[in-house]
Amino acid sequence: MKSSPIKWLPCEYVFSNILYLTSHSPYRAPELLYGAREYSVGIDMWSNGCIMAELMKKIIFLPGMDDLDQLAKIFYTFGTPTEAEWPKMRSLNKYKKFLKHPGVELQRELPGFSTAAYEIMGLMMKINPNDRMNAASALQHPWFNSNEYPILPLEELPFDELKKN
């Protein structure tokens, strides 16, 4: 009987690597990066905002090398939350304090998109999960029903800014 060319791996190895790959996604919400164990609609809304930004920018939005790097990029872009802005943040089991950063305008990170696009992404990607819009509100947002193009007309695009990204 011939031996099989397939190399079998222990289940623990396979599952731990699958868990690693799926848990290190650039679409993970800040509360997951801080170790939250409760699921909420806000997690999906954060991911939707990341995917929307990625589709518009044509590259992964806020890619981190690990959880802390991911949080640093999120806080650089959206601002480091205070306890008043996100009261439950310190109670999360992986909480780490970050240097205070005011954040940048989405228009700087994602130049050339419509006002409604910036607004809906900002509402989906609030740092505090309780402040994020839900799916029903997102579907009612003017971005889905506007005649605005998702990006500015060609003659209004900031090509110099786009080349920097």
- What digits encode the pLDDT tens for the residues 4-38? 455 454 544 444 444 444 455 789 999 999 999 88
Question: What residue spans define the domains of the chain?
Answer: 24-154
pLDDT, mean of residues 99-128: 91
pLDDT at 72 > cutoff 90:
yes
Q: Are 97 and 109 in contact (CB under 8 A)?
A: no
> Which are the contacts of 15, defined by CB distance < 8 A and separation ≥ 6?
none
Please give the model's pTM, rounded to 2 decimal places: 0.76
* Residue 146: predicted pLDDT: 76
Residue 36: closest CA among 129, 139, 149, 138: 129
For the structural domain made of 24-154, what CATH number should be given? Answer: 1.10.510.10
pLDDT at 88 > cutoff 80:
yes
* Residue 13: predicted pLDDT: 45
